[in-house]
Structure 1
């Protein structure tokens, strides 16, 4: 994947490529100087795909099924593990459990109703990853992995929901949650340059506890693992090789601005690669969106507005899934666009054009962007 060398700023790169290269210097690559339009392969109203896009190399985007992975193991200095929020996964500590082989389904039956997404109970936020993406400091989800094996709890893991198989979904609607994917018991320990995961079906005895060592690959933010297949898998592109991800998402929903209703499952969601320094912000428009978008230049960027500490900077802000009283059909907002700063320090403006195909079926997103 082609990446770009940043020299002071985009403007200085442009000047350098035009007038400041000597005969024996290598040419400097710059972002494309014309805008591009992108059809995002979300996959239709069951939204089966996660799509990872690097605006500097948007044609080589990476696509995976949501069910391809369950856990992401952080490759930095800390020992943290995330869950696949695109499946509405949850975890809950099994009280007083010290031996994973002795945990049986009957021991955790009362926990199954608790470790769920969408119960409209603020308490269920404890069982998911922090929706803002700040997993290194979160107190929810899977705790930091300790050096002392005995300090690492045994978890009941809700593997979330399968991708529905039905194709008979009404125009403007989505169907995101199929059959339950089941439950696992799990303990994660530290290993040399990585992690050791111990996991099994709930009634498995000592002879059937599976183990796998996950090595930290520092070219990526996470090393991913599939609990169903018992194997590692590449999901995200390399650290700085993606800016945006189109995905379903486990978020927090509110009854009122200060009254949380807990975790909730979202369609048509976009996250930004904040772990690699990507930031974004929304520009509100009064009047013509075309005119405001076309007129927006590098000099208009407000560096104070970038959101670098919440990967939901774009999130669900580009569309409404419920419509309005006057227009009750889901649609893309026409009164805003977004500005993004990528991991290389380049600036882009982007606007979203649609979330449906010509027949009104969801899961067919389109956006355009232009380097600034």
Structure 2
């Protein structure tokens, strides 16, 4: 009898469970669309990337078909696309597990344009079950534009709180540029001073030695440096990282002297991204004319490589990787306004002391490129109501950390979920004088987002 009762009980349980499963709401449609409806293609760029995004990761490999119509410019002669177009149509593949695909538009060499040329791209179809979203048409203008505003899902990439990319955003051109954080190790300043930065987005650290010859530096010179050059809560020193406020007069690598004998060897811990950890390096930087010469090798190596790095006045920094040599990271300084990334900042140990600490979801403004920003509380004026008349009472700052991590909360010890702070927004004045208001929509599952892919919205308040 007990066995019969048990069988009937399990039958009822299974019936209820199946009924609950049948009542579960279906997933919302997975929609393909462009990131924005208008994008600028600056005259100083040879190619630009256009992204197609899905509202969630593709369950299977997905193909999106896109039609193109050119005005004032000829395909194959004055521009091409990758992948190539056939009969004014091209296809973009989005792998399973990804929510982003892209294609590139490349100008022909030595091309002269008057700035009125455009390309219109229209999403035609997507592999089932993916459907088309709202932003099915994008106009690419062969000139800089001043966007009226848009919404973007930033492509921080996989890794969640340890997302693999830094993302640079240019509001006026509706462009985001994602760059792998681990793709560079040193940045060489393009301004009048001779300064070199280490990669704060990977938690890199450095220590000056008294030696000036790389071949005389061995593993013995790293003795006692492990606790100093490894950043974690409660360890590390601000003396081993670049100034967390972005002051270039306080880089851990001292100003590069015109006198070679004054330029010492440094031990560099390149930091890490996720489980990827690079070996420590020894480096020395010298001046070469108006540029730099980098000498570098792994600690135990008895010979070293050299790399000449020319200054580029159009960029804040020119970058180098210990693995690949010269690499491109941030866009030209006139072509970006803010950077979302992981960053070395500071964490308080007490009311009077703090240590360097790596923060996820940190936002810098392009302070070296002339961008300014302000934080505005909604108790003063709402995001929607903020208008040109409010600009005169807005206090703009040139500090690169104006936004920082102030736009969000982390999961608290009391169980409070992480999420965007809805009591504030930001106002950005770009280097050209255009003023945008910016708000963060979400960034984690607690507020409807996906960690590593924060959503933002921005609107033009005043055109320069």
**TM-score class normalised by the smaller sequence:** 0.7 to 0.9
The residue number in structure 2 matching 1:175 is none
Partners of 2:323 and 2:334 in 1: how far apart? 29
User: Which structure's CA Rg is the greater one?
Assistant: 2
Provide the TM-score with structure 1 as the length reference: 0.81
Q: Deviations over 1:47-97 (max 9, x none)?
A: 101111100012x32111111111110011110011111100000012x32
Equivalent residue in structure 2 for 1:187, among 268, 284, 292:
284
Question: Structure 1's 365 and 102: CA in aligned 2 closer, same or farther, altered over 3 A?
Answer: same
Structure 1 unaligned segments of length 5 or more: list them. Answer: 5-25, 165-177
How do 1:255-334 and structure 2 match up within 5 A? 255-257=349-351, 259-286=352-379, 292-302=382-392, 305-308=395-398, 310-323=399-412, 325=414, 328-334=416-422
Preserved contact between residue 323 and residue 331 of structure 1 (Cα < 8 Å): no
- Residues 210, 221 of structure 1: alpha-carbon distance in 2 compared, 3 angstrom cutoff: same
Is the contact between residue 154 and residue 454 of structure 2 (CA under 8 Å) also seen in structure 1?
Answer: yes
Q: CA deviation at 1:209?
A: 1.1
Counterpart in the other structure of 1:144: 255
Distance in structure 2 (CA, Å) of the matches to 1:125 and 1:192: 31
| SS class of match (1:57) | coil
RMSD across aligned positions (CA): 2.3
Q: Aligned equivalents of 1:361 and 1:29: distance in 2? A: 31
Question: Which of residues 330, 336, 339 is equivalent to 1:245?
Answer: 339
Residue pair 1:37, 1:369 contacting (<8 A) in 2 also? yes
Question: Which position in structure 2 is the counterpart of 1:89?
Answer: 204
2-structure distance, mates of 1:350, 1:72:
28
Per-residue deviation, 1:120: 2.0
> After the TM superposition, which segments of 4 or more aligned residues of structure 1 sit over 6 Å from their partners?
26-30
1:232 maps to: 326
Aligned CA distance change for structure 1 residues 336 and 100 (closer, same or farther; 3 Å) = same
How big is the shift at 1:32?
2.9
1:303 to 1:67, Cα distance in 2 relative to 1, 3 A: farther
Q: Offset of 1:274 from its aligned partner?
A: 0.4
1:301: Cα distance to partner? 1.6
Deviations 1:94-118 (A, max 9, x none): 2x32321011102222122212222
Taking the aligned partners of 2:334 and 2:183, their CA distance within structure 1 comes to: 22
Identify the residue that residue 244 of structure 2 maps to in structure 1: 131
Distance 2:412 2:375 in 1: 20
Which position in structure 2 is the counterpart of 1:48? Answer: 164
Deviation at 1:134, TM superposition (A): 1.6
Q: Secondary structure at the match of 1:370?
A: strand
TM-score, structure 2 length as denominator? 0.66
Deviation at 1:192, TM superposition (A): 1.8
